[in-house]
Amino acid sequence: NAGVTQTPKFQVLKTGQSMTLQCAQDMNHEYMSWYRQDPGMGLRLIHYSVGAGITDQGEVPNGYNVSRSTTEDFPLRLLSAAPSQTSVYFCASRDSGDTGELFFGEGSRLTVL
Amino acid sequence: DAKTTQPPSMDCAEGRAANLPCNHSTISGNEYVYWYRQIHSQGPQYIIHGLKNNETNEMASLIITEDRKSSTLILPHATLRDTAVYYCIVRVAVASYDKVIFGPGTSLSVIP
- pLDDT per residue as tens digits for the range A56-85: 999 999 999 999 999 999 999 999 999 999
Residue B103's pLDDT is 85
Q: Which whole number is the average pLDDT over B57-66?
A: 96
Task: Specify the pLDDT at position B104.
Answer: 87
| Predicted local confidence at residue B92, as pLDDT | 73
E strand spans, chain A: 4-7, 10-13, 19-25, 31-37, 43-51, 54-57, 64-66, 76-78, 87-94, 102-104, 108-112
In this structure, chain A runs to a length of: 113
pLDDT at residue number B105? 93
Q: Rounded distance, CA A5 to CA A66, Å?
A: 17
Task: Report the residue from A4, A35, A99 with minimal CB separation from B49.
Answer: A99
Residue B3: phi, psi to the nearest 5? -85, 145
Look up residue B24 and give its amino acid: H
pLDDT number for residue A99: 73
Residue of A44, A56, A104 lying closest to B43 (CB–CB)? A104
Predicted confidence (pLDDT) at residue B45 exceeds the cutoff of 80: yes
Q: Do A99 and B42 count as a contact with CB atoms less than 8 A apart?
A: no
Q: How far out from the chain centre does Cα B82 lie?
A: 13
- The per-residue pLDDT for B93 is 61
Give the tens place of pLDDT for each residue, A80-99: 999 999 999 999 999 776 67
- Compute the radius of gyration of chain A from its Cα atoms: 13
Spell out which residues of chain A touch residue B103, defining contact as CB-CB under 8 Å.
Answer: 42
pLDDT beyond 80 at B97 = no
Residue of A nearest to B34 (CA): A101
How confident is the model over A10-31, as pLDDT tens digits? 999 999 999 999 999 999 998 9
CA B111, A107, B62: angle at the middle one, nearest 5?
A: 50
Distance (Å) from the C-alpha of residue B109 to the closest C-alpha of chain A? 15
Q: Could you tell me the pLDDT band of residue B66, with boundaries at 50, 70 and 90? A: very high
